[in-house]
Amino acid sequence: MKKNIVLIGMPGCGKSTVGRELSSMLHMVLVDTDQMVERAADQTVADIFAAEGEEGFRDRETAAVRQAAQMSGVVIATGGGVVLREENMTALSQTGVIFFRDRDLADILGADLSERPLLNGNTARIYELYDQRIHLYRKYAHHTISCTNTAGEAALRIAALYEKECKQ
């Protein structure tokens, strides 16, 4: 069974974008857990948050994570809060190599975050989430990818580390 590449990090850090780069570069299928949740619910993440609250969304996310973790040789882009449930990270680490994209918050704040339900356009909220989650990202990551200016740079570093890890 070929290991998966699992991308974790703050909302807006570029997990999906880096995932697309890796998918193309390594000829691996990209699986986005937020998209899996949206397809299963036939609603957007924002609509799920509005209707079911964060707990309802997290339950759906956990189901998507379980499904994604059972795949082999795919790139998995997760939602920023996937680290909040240990069971998610246990499932993902059993079949994947976990990469934390530690992107500077100033760069994240420069991105369009209007579709992020936990941020609701509140830039101070991203600092709160970072403070709440940073220790979890670091705890679960096999590798931390920082100091990259572009998604392409991050993807190249991840690809090199993944190839090295798979040879061991």
Q: How far apart are CA 56 and CA 54, in angstroms?
A: 5
Which residue ranges form the domains of the chain, and what is each CATH number? Answer: 4-167 (3.40.50.300)
Query: What pLDDT is recorded for position 116?
Result: 56
Assign 3-state DSSP to the chain and report helix, strand, coil percentages, each to 5.
60, 15, 30
What are 75's strand-pairing partners? 5, 30
Query: What pLDDT is recorded for position 165?
Result: 84
Range list of H helices, 11-145: 15-26, 33-41, 45-69, 86-95, 105-109, 123-140
CB 44 within 8 A of CB 116: no
Q: What percent of the chain has pLDDT over 90?
A: 74
Q: Which residues contact 44 (CB under 8 A, 6 or more apart)?
A: 38, 115
pLDDT band of 166, cuts 50, 70, 90: confident
Query: What pLDDT is recorded for position 120?
Result: 59
Query: What pLDDT is recorded for position 149?
Result: 79
Between 1 and 64, the more confident residue is: 64
Tens digits of residue pLDDT in 105-144: 777 766 555 555 555 566 777 788 899 999 999 999 999 9
Average pLDDT in the chain: 90
Query: Whole-model pTM?
Result: 0.91
